[in-house]
Amino acid sequence: MTLPARPLRLATTDSGFDAALAARLHWSADTDAGIEQAVADILEDVRKRGDAAVLEYTNRFDMQAAAMADLQLKPSELKAAFDGLPPRQRAALESAAQRVRSYHVAQRKASGESWSYRDEDGTLLGQKVTPLDRVGIYVPGGKAAYPSSVLMNAIPAHVAGVGEIIMVVPTPRGEKNPLVLAAAHVAGVTRVFTIGGAQAVAALAYGTETVPRVDKVTGPGNAYVAAAKRRVFGQVGIDMIAGPSEILVLADGTTPPDWVAMDLFSQAEHDELAQSILLCPDANYIEQVQAAIDRMLGEMPRAEIIAKSLTGRGALIHTRSMEEACEISNRIAPEHLEIASRDPHRWEPLLRHAGAIFLGAYTSESLGDYCAGPNHVLPTSTTARFSSPLGVYDFQKRSSLIEVSEAGAQVLGTIAAELAYGEGLQAHARAAELRLKR
């Protein structure tokens, strides 16, 4: 018997609206001291004992393996998985990969190239963009398999020109998902290890006898993975700490209610802690969406998860206007924001904070999860206020370039020496002055 799905009903005219909304949004991964301690212990153990510790934790949490060699996949195995896919699945995977690649190539052209200019005296100033040497991509695999996450992590790394892409993915009970292996083949992953959780993040961050140490770890995962990434940051780079999935639908009442209800389901089905919110100025439309939820829930194989997510964390919010709905959406800064409106471009300029914005009734968020092109690894838990989707730029770094001409040294030397004396740093001042013409 599936529980009913009853998202919290709020109206912005309610006296306690702000507090009720804040309470519904509250989510924090670092409140679980048990997970924090377990992860700290696992990291320390892998750092000290390397392969032996990784093997032990893999046997405890995921699958039986006798040696680390059993936890590495050969390139021929990845290719065989690709060749063995049913033709329609293979075609879908290739089309999705192609679209994700094109998008990220455009992204590199727009913001990922080196640049420089010269002052009138010939001094050159610029920025050199270089790819990371070696990255680790975490592909979640505990409760579900995510071939799309292989593409979303590996393709931007590949487009950035990363030398080696090391993928980790847990395979519970040793069951390998052929689509995940095939995606690694299509996306150009260098090596794959079937390990997961905090032990996989530790192996990538510290290196073991078998797993090479990487420069950065990217990709989503559960609370153990998130806690491990937070702790290894500094030793290696990380992309972000991604929390449970979120969708916010801003509806003016012109999109069929079934479409909106299913879009709310689409993120709720990821996780009991996922968050689905509807903002709408039309009370009657909100009733129609609730009716669609009640009608369609029973058809969903993951109805239990959806019901828990919608009842525990979801909300249907009646606003005074679409303008007010946009203002509240900015406060929430959701991972995914759908503008379910006949006139999406009227509202888009009012929206400042969101991981990804989906415009118009036909732009289902789920298309973005798989194949529209943009990345599906996005900031969650209001962090879209200050962070961006995973992209080519996460796999690159920048070095400043400075070449001062003889004429430039006369101008800059005088300025630098003056400021250096002001700071009491004589060697700095003298280094600048030695290059001045007497």
Ligand X SMILES: N[C@H](CO)Cc1c[nH]c[nH+]1
CA angle 355, 359, 363 (to 5 degrees): 95
Q: Which of 269, 335, 338, 365 is catalytic?
A: 335
Contact 341, 308 (CB under 8 A): no
User: For the window 256-295, what string marks contact with ligand NAD as x by the rule CB under 6 A?
Assistant: --------------xx------------------------
Q: Which of these ranges, 70-78, 214-222, 318-326, 430-438, lies near ligand NAD under the rule CB under 6 A?
A: 214-222
As a whole number of angstroms, the distance between CA 128 and CA 139 comes to 30
- To the nearest whole angstrom, how small is the minimum distance from the Cβ of residue 185 to ligand NAD? 20
Binding partner selected for residue 221 from ligand X, ligand NAD, Zn ion, none, CB under the kind-specific 5 to 8 Å limit? ligand NAD
Question: Which residue lies nearer to ligand X by CB, 263 or 335?
Answer: 335
Q: What are phi and psi for residue 315, nearest 5 degrees?
A: -155, 140
Of 278, 269, 297, 270, give the one whose Cα is nearest residue 340: 278
Whether 336 is a known active-site residue: answer: yes
The single residue listed with the structure tokens 């060699």 is: 69
Contact 216, 394 (CB under 8 A): yes
Q: Return the residues of window 303-362 that contact ligand X according to CB under 6 A.
A: 335
Q: Return the residues of window 218-247 that contact ligand X according to CB under 6 A.
A: 245
Contact 75, 228 (CB under 8 A): no
User: For the window 162-191, what string marks contact with ligand NAD as x by the rule CB under 6 A?
Assistant: --------x---------------------
Does the annotation list 209 as a binding residue? Answer: no
By the rule CB under 6 A, 376 interacts with ligand X: yes
User: For the window 146-165, what string marks contact with ligand X as x by the rule CB under 6 A?
Assistant: x-xx----------------
Contact 115, 197 (CB under 8 A): no
Q: Which of these ranges, 30-38, 121-129, 144-152, 304-312, lies near ligand X under the rule CB under 6 A?
A: 144-152
Antiparallel, parallel or unpaired: β 134-138 and 216-218? parallel
Does the annotation list 423 as a binding residue? Answer: yes
Question: Which residue lies nearer to Zn ion by CB, 45 or 369?
Answer: 369
Binding site for Zn ion (CB under 5 A): 369
As a whole number of angstroms, the distance between CA 328 and CA 326 comes to 5
Does the annotation list 324 as a binding residue? Answer: no
Whether 185 is a known active-site residue: answer: no
Residue 378 CB-density burial (10 A; 0-12 exposed, 13-18 middle, 19+ buried): buried
Q: Which of 336, 338, 353, 365 is catalytic?
A: 336
* Contacts made by residues 384-388, CB under 8 angstroms, sequence distance 24+: 384/333, 384/334, 384/335, 384/353, 384/354, 384/355, 385/333, 385/353, 387/240, 388/355
Positions that interact with ligand NAD (CB under 6 A):
38, 61-62, 140-144, 146, 149, 170, 196-198, 220-222, 224-225, 242, 244-245, 270-271, 376-377
Residue numbers annotated as active site: 335-336
